[in-house]
Amino acid sequence: AKDMKHHLDFLLQKPDSCEHSSSHSKKEKMAPAQKVSHKEVQKWADCLENLIHHNSGLAAFRAFLKSEYSEENIEFWVSCEEYKKTKSPAKLSPKARKIYDEFISVQATREVNLDSCTREVTSHNVLRPTLSCFDEAQRKIFILMEKDSYRRFLKSHFYLDLVSPSATTCGTESHKRATSPTLACSSPLVPQCA
């Protein structure tokens, strides 16, 4: 019930007009927009890998997932990437156990959506951890994000405000002429104003 109340509060705070949404979003995204070239931001739409392998892209995607209350997938993916950089064999077991307990076990605090076979294989791998013990689970979560949340991200103000700040306020003919040719107001990536 508490989570539902927070979700409803979030929905009630959503702005009604595109213009207000744009100004609200610009405040949230100002720092990444200033540090990232327009060309780089456009590359994020090519594939999920381009997005999450760029610090600002990862930050924007995390913020988007957090707004949807579904950040556990990207947090798991990032944890696996950090785990693979472990140098000391003695640290593998405690790090693997921590990731397993947080994201994979049945009572995980931030459980990711894995099929039973992948979950079982990963559980077995954690008993004798190697740098690749989470590879299959990480791959499945990547595919899940790629097919679902990544596509929604590309249509969200989190991305659209970075790629074309003026494109989220559609309406006038002069605006349509001024919008960049890569993302015109008729583009399926740009939400239409009601």
Kindly tell me the sign of the dihedral angle through the C-alpha atoms of 127, 129, 134, 135: negative
Give the tens place of pLDDT for each residue, 75-86.
999 999 999 999
Give the tens place of pLDDT for each residue, 143-182.
999 999 999 999 999 999 888 765 444 443 333 333 333 3
- The pLDDT value given to residue 35: 66
Asked if the model's pLDDT at residue 93 lies above 80, the reply is yes
Q: Which of 144, 182, 170 is nearest to 46 (CA)?
A: 182
What's the mean pLDDT when you consider all of the chain? 76
Asked if the model's pLDDT at residue 1 lies above 50, the reply is no
CA 40 and chain centroid, separation:
17
Task: Report, as an integer, the average pLDDT of 129-145.
Answer: 97
Higher pLDDT, 20 or 66: 66
The Cα–Cα gap between 190 and 161 comes to 10
pTM of the predicted protein model: 0.67
Q: Which of 150, 159, 161, 152 is nearest to 74 (CA)?
A: 150
Task: Report, as an integer, the average pLDDT of 67-77.
Answer: 95
Task: Report, as an integer, the average pLDDT of 46-53.
Answer: 95
Lowest mean pLDDT among 15-19, 70-74, 87-91, 154-158: 15-19
| Dihedral-angle region of residue 26 (phi above 0 means left; psi in -120 to 50 means alpha; beta otherwise) | alpha
- The pLDDT value given to residue 38: 87
